[in-house]
């Protein structure tokens, strides 16, 4: 005999827990099932353990999707302020770090505890360590077959996230279920991910790993102004993670180093005032010394500033303004913070997240083809889409 519930939610991550709270508040009998041993594992490790739980500036412009309009309805109906009100009601101390990014003062575990308390108050049941077998549908109810028996429900919400960090239990489950029910899935790829560099470039960058510098990172017309970090395998840091979501394998990215510094004026003044000094000494006043050394070495700049031919200085200024790099690849899902692409939004209703062609079936969170920038946007999408589905499921 199958157990009966009104709503079964698969995935006890950010989106699934928010959906359970909302559906439970409406009086629906909710069961959340997850194969992991603990709920909200990605919340726990997020934001360096302090969870960047939202961004006060979050809006549709901060998301990538084949249909940039799809996310508008859910984001407008559950805003960063709404989530912050919840955080404040639970007296969780928080702070704004930078660029509207809100973090817990203490621990990401405060957010998980808050969501569990809200689920409890809404009478939503949580079942962990429960692998899912088949999902069956007879046109009326869904039957979810688990190791611990079969559960039947009129609404089924898929909240199993994307493919990033498989060692934490990420699976392609949502895409498989979408395909089972005839819903399209857009191409998926790793997003918010460090980029790798080829061995020759890495050899030339010897000594740079660990060096961070303020940049504008560009790809086409998209640009982000934040820090970039040189690593043993390539490039990371917020500016690189942001631009990685727009970049595709083999394409170029461009960096403007230290965008606040007018290097043409700096070099001209240095030549006038003390032409005997070395170029790297001038650059090192504005950037890490190791990076200054690399730039002058790569362009063959040696000897006193006053003796440098104009074309070399022009080449250096060009490099500082527009350093072109062609990363051959990325670190992939192993370290990516998100998965780009996912369940095609054309198959879903933007108010409820319901599959248009399969009444009672919902997809929320990262599983859907809506991906946020770095900075609290992905959790805001998880809360907003979970809240939207919870109002209907």
Binding residues (CB under 6 A) for ligand FDA: these are: 10-16, 34-36, 41-42, 45-47, 51-52, 132, 159-161, 164-165, 169-171, 173, 337-338, 365-367, 376-379, 382
| DSSP string across 115-164 | HHHHHHHTT-EEE-S--EEEEEE-SS-EEEEETTEEEEEEEEEE----SS
How far apart (Å, rounded) are the C-alpha atoms in residues 137 and 139? Answer: 6
Q: Which is nearer to ligand FDA, 63 or 379 (CB)?
A: 379
Q: Which is nearer to ligand FDA, 233 or 286 (CB)?
A: 233
Burial (0-12, 13-18, 19+ Cβ within 10 Å), 36: middle
H-helix or E-strand spanning residue 86: helix 80-89
Q: What ranges make up the beta strands (E) of 270-374?
A: 323-325, 329-330, 338-340, 361-363, 371-372
Inter-residue contact 230 to 208 (CB < 8 Å): yes
Which residue's C-beta sits nearest to ligand FDA?
13
| DSSP string across 330-359 | E-GGGT-SEEE--B-GGGB-TTT-BBTTST
Q: Which is nearer to ligand FDA, 111 or 257 (CB)?
A: 111
| CB of residue 43 to ligand FDA, shortest distance in Å | 6
Q: Which is nearer to ligand FDA, 54 or 155 (CB)?
A: 54
Q: Which is nearer to ligand FDA, 162 or 327 (CB)?
A: 162
| CB of residue 111 to ligand FDA, shortest distance in Å | 10
Q: Which of 138, 153, 141 is nearest to 29 (CA)?
A: 153
| CB of residue 290 to ligand FDA, shortest distance in Å | 28
Q: Which is nearer to ligand FDA, 10 or 235 (CB)?
A: 10
Q: Which is nearer to ligand FDA, 211 or 368 (CB)?
A: 368
| CB of residue 71 to ligand FDA, shortest distance in Å | 13
Alpha-carbon distances, residue 180 vs 158, 267, 350, 370 (angstroms): 13, 63, 21, 21
How far apart (Å, rounded) are the C-alpha atoms in residues 321 and 146? Answer: 57
- 125-127 vs 195-196, strand pairing mode: unpaired
How far apart (Å, rounded) are the C-alpha atoms in residues 206 and 157? Answer: 49
- 361-363 vs 222-230, strand pairing mode: unpaired
| CB of residue 100 to ligand FDA, shortest distance in Å | 12
| CB of residue 90 to ligand FDA, shortest distance in Å | 18
| CB of residue 231 to ligand FDA, shortest distance in Å | 16
Phi-psi region at 323: left, alpha or beta (left = phi > 0; alpha = psi -120 to 50): beta
| CB of residue 41 to ligand FDA, shortest distance in Å | 6
Q: Which is nearer to ligand FDA, 16 or 280 (CB)?
A: 16
| CB of residue 157 to ligand FDA, shortest distance in Å | 11
Q: Which is nearer to ligand FDA, 16 or 360 (CB)?
A: 16
């Amino acid at each position: 005999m199958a157990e009966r519930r009104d709503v079964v939610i698969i995935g006890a991550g950010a989106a699934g827990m928010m959906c359970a709270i909302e559906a439970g508040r409406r009086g629906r009998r909710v069961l959340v099932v997850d194969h992991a041993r603990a709920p909200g594992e990605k919340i726990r490790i997020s934001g360096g353990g302090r969870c960047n739980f939202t961004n006060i500036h979050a809006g549709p412009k901060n998301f990538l999707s084949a249909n940039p309009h799809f996310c508008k309805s859910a984001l407008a109906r559950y805003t960063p302020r709404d989530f912050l009100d919840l955080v404040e009601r639970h007296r969780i101390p928080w702070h704004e770090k930078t660029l509207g990014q809100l973090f817990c003062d203490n621990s990401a575990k405060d957010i998980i505890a808050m969501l569990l308390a809200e689920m409890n108050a809404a009478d939503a049941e949580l079942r962990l360590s429960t692998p899912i077998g088949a999902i069956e549908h007879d046109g009326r109810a869904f039957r979810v077959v688990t190791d611990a028996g079969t559960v039947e429900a009129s609404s089924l919400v898929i909240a199993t996230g994307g493919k990033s960090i498989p060692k934490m239990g990420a699976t392609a489950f949502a895409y498989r279920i979408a395909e089972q029910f005839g819903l399209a899935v857009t191409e998926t790829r790793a997003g918010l991910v460090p980029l790798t560099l080829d061995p020759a470039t890495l050899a030339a960058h010897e000594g740079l790993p660990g060096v961070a510098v303020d940049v504008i990172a560009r790809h086409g017309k998209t640009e982000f102004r934040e820090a970039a970090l040189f690593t043993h395998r390539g490039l990371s840091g917020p500016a690189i993670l942001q631009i990685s979501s727009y970049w595709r394998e083999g394409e170029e990215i461009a960096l403007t180093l230290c965008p606040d510094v007018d290097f043409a004026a700096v070099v001209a003044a240095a030549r006038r005032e003390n032409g005997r000094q070395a170029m790297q000494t001038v650059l090192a006043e504005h950037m890490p010394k190791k990076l200054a050394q690399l730039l002058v070495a790569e362009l063959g700049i040696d000897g006193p500033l006053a003796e440098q031919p104009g074309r070399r200085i022009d080449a250096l200024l060009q490099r500082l303004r527009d350093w072109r790099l062609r990363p051959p690849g990325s670190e992939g899902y192993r370290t990516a913070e998100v998965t780009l692409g996912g369940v095609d939004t054309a198959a879903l209703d933007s108010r409820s997240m319901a599959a248009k062609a399969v009444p009672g079936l919902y997809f929320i969170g990262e599983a859907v083809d809506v991906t946020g920038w770095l900075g609290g946007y992905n959790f805001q999408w998880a809360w907003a889409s979970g809240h939207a589905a919870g109002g209907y499921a």
